[in-house]
Amino acid sequence: MAINLSNLRFSYPEHPHLPVLNIPFWSLSAGEHTLIYGSSGSGKSTLLNILNGLLTVNSGHVKVLGQHLNKMTCRQRDSFRANNIGYIFQQFNLIPYLNALDNIQLASYFSKSKSKSSLNPEIKALLNSLNIPEKDWKKPVRALSIGQQQRIAIARALINKPTLLIADEPTSSLDQENRDSFMALLMSIVKKNRITLLFVSHDMSLSHYFTRVESLNDMNQIAYEHAN
Amino acid sequence: MNMLIKLALKSLHDRKGSVILSIIAMTVSIFVLLGVEHIRYQTKESFANTVSGTDLIVGARTGSLNLLLYSVFKIGSPTNNISWRSYEKIARNPKVKWAVPLSLGDSHKGFSVLGTNGKYFEHFSYGNQHKLLLEKGSVFDNVYDVVLGYQVADKLNYQLGDKVVLAHGIAKTSFSLHTDKPFTIVGILAPTGTPVDQTLHVSLQGIEAIHSNGENINVSQTKRLSNDYHQHKQPELAQLQPQSITALLLGLKSKMSTFKIQREINNDTQEPLLAILPGVALSELWQMMRILENTLFLVSVLVFISASLGVSAMLLSSIKQRAKEILLLRVIGAPPLFLFFLIELEVLFITAISCILVVSLLFAQSYLASYFGLQISVNIFSINTLKLIVAILSVSLIAATMPSLIGYVQSKKHTIVD
């Protein structure tokens, strides 16, 4: 199992009486490519931040890649995230004033598993495989197109060889053409490296890329509680 | 290069505008702080350097500070003269190695004129026991010879052989010029960075000659000075025998007898005299200046603290703008402590760059000053300056803990906009 959630309850400390998530049970097996869809404000990003260990739950169990996240210290979660989870946002995946190489190096800096000597050729191979022309490697990433930035974001998310890749609406800021090539690229890399993919979007038209499609509203009992 | 340093430098570079303004504010405040310290040090140094190797200064009874100021620094005016007899009596004391008479009160274009004898050039020393050196020419030999301090010659553009006219009093424009008795420049001293540079040196006889009425004394312009001041066999020079002098500098054979001689002079029954130790009088001077110094220092410290807080405020507002950057760093695995150190490091760089700018500015200023002969260059990397720079860096780091802690806390609890 890549992810195992049971009796998960979460509310932000600022609003303790306004629960955001209540998931009795949910799991994701290794190698699955799952799309979770939901409208904005449904708690998608909150769920993802619980899975990557930035947020801790009020009660229940969160097991990611066999590790109990709520039994780890803050520091352990930070290095667990750096070593095991790749993460792609909708926007701002890269430090805008650093170039592509530096951004990817920065990501590998926080993961202690890498030997630094093999790092540079690895980054270059990764950028090449993602069709980033070499002349753009040393430009500050803010000078590049959104499509290129999102592809560098894939490289950044993959540099530490994660077993779980979480993508939070990575295609929302792309146009149709860029979106299709991004998805094709992402899926081929994920398949090649046998990475478990958890993809969150409000865009149902992407569902044909995935082996499993879920609605967050079905998972999250809060929606029913509100309805009742 | 370490990733943290690289990130801090590039992020500062990315926010050039506000960072440059912060560096300027920081530079100005550190300049004030180090500048005050530098000037304080320089002043002390140059005061302390003015006289060395002199064991006692003797003058008419007055305050010890007053005596020190008018005899060595040519500041203020003497209350009274001391008689030639007293001078001879002290000079004959077997414990006295040398005695140099000083006669003040005349001037030339605002520079003071010092009447003395050849022993002055032999025994007067400044700084670390440096003797006076002649840059050009020789020591005065005739009654109407004058030896110029470095700056007198430099500012008034005098050459050897030029004639100068001395005036009574010390104002720049005097009503009683001694025009009938011009002096010939025979020597120019090398720069010393002390009031000697601003002094014209003539013989005691020269001073007497310009103050005599000129009717019954007729000394030829080339009259040689006798080497023996006590027994004037030549009638012309006997006429010029000074009756009184302003002060005298004493060197003793043994430092051990300093206090004994001082007591003897202070208890002299013939004439009310005062003997002072230059070092003791100088420390009295520091005590008087300390309040002023401390006030200046306090003001500059406050200026610096306000600049540090300004930089912290700039970083604090930058944290708000960088919320997404902080979130990204957290997601790729940066611990909150990394964010704390990142912000501290940015402050450290701003302060360090400002310190480097200030030190180079001060260095340039010292260099220029010494180039133009305004003062001797002083080593600006004194222990005090280094201590101060370390203190500056520490204070700025402490001031930066506020934005750093906020960055830490924000990155730790972190909430994302959905």
Percent of the residues in chain A that have a pLDDT greater than 70, as a whole number: 94
**B218/B222 Cα distance (integer angstroms):** 11
**CA of A174: how far to CAs of A102, A149, A150, in Å?**
24, 10, 9
**Same domain? B130 vs B83:** yes
pLDDT of residue B23 exceeding 90: yes
ipTM of the complex as predicted: 0.85
Mutate which of A106, A120, A142, A160 to disrupt the B interface (most B C-beta within 10 Å)? A106
Average pLDDT over residues A74-103: 87
B223 contact partners, CB below 8 Å, separation of at least 6: B142, B143, B144, B236, B237
In a domain, B366, yes or no: yes
- Identify the DSSP state of B270: S
Is the CB of residue A76 less than 8 Å away from at least one CB of chain B?
no
**Same domain? B314 vs B381:** yes
* Candidate from B13, B325, B414 with C-beta closest to A95: B325
- CB–CB contact A45 B328 (8 Å): no
In terms of pTM, does the model score above 0.90?
A: no
CA A218 to chain centre: 21
Q: Specify the range with the lowest mean pLDDT, choosing from A27-36, B97-106, B357-366.
A: B357-366
Average pLDDT over residues A166-170: 88
Structural domain boundaries, residue A134: 3-227
- CB–CB contact A44 B418 (8 Å): yes
* Candidate from B13, B328, B330 with C-beta closest to A95: B328
pLDDT of residue A178 exceeding 80: yes
The pLDDT value recorded for residue B356 is 92
The pLDDT value recorded for residue B229 is 45
**Same domain? B379 vs B311:** yes
In a domain, B204, yes or no: yes
In a domain, B62, yes or no: yes
* Candidate from A96, A98, A107 with C-beta closest to B332: A107
**B216/B233 Cα distance (integer angstroms):** 18
- CB–CB contact B325 A87 (8 Å): no
**B214/B181 Cα distance (integer angstroms):** 9
**Same domain? B76 vs B138:** yes
**Same domain? B193 vs B330:** no
**Same domain? B89 vs B204:** yes
In a domain, B321, yes or no: yes
Q: Kind and range of the H or E element at B111?
A: strand B111-116
Higher pLDDT, B45 or B327: B327
The pLDDT value recorded for residue B274 is 92
Q: pLDDT category, B124, cuts 50, 70, 90?
A: confident
**Residue A167 · residue A197 · CB < 8 Å:** yes
The pLDDT value recorded for residue A105 is 86
Average pLDDT over residues A90-103: 87
Provide the number of structural domains found in chain B.
Answer: 2
Residue indicated by tokens 């009425």: B213
Which of B276, B305, B333 finishes a domain?
Answer: B276
- CB–CB contact B10 A97 (8 Å): yes
**Same domain? B114 vs B131:** yes
Structure tokens at B308: 């540090």
In a domain, B270, yes or no: yes
Within B93-144, where are the H helices?
A: 119-123
**B276/B226 Cα distance (integer angstroms):** 31
What residues in B contact A106, CB-CB < 8 Å?
3, 7, 329, 332
**Same domain? B300 vs B376:** yes
Provide the number of structural domains found in chain A.
Answer: 1
**Same domain? B297 vs B371:** yes
In a domain, B98, yes or no: yes
The pLDDT value recorded for residue B57 is 92
Q: Kind and range of the H or E element at A228?
A: none
**Same domain? B177 vs B73:** yes
- CB–CB contact B332 A106 (8 Å): yes
CATH number at residue A178: 3.40.50.300
Structure tokens at A42: 């449904």
**Same domain? B71 vs B215:** yes
Structural domain boundaries, residue B399: 3-47+288-413
**Same domain? B173 vs B270:** yes
| Radius of gyration for chain A, computed over Cα atoms and rounded to the nearest angstrom | 18
Structure tokens at B159: 């050459």
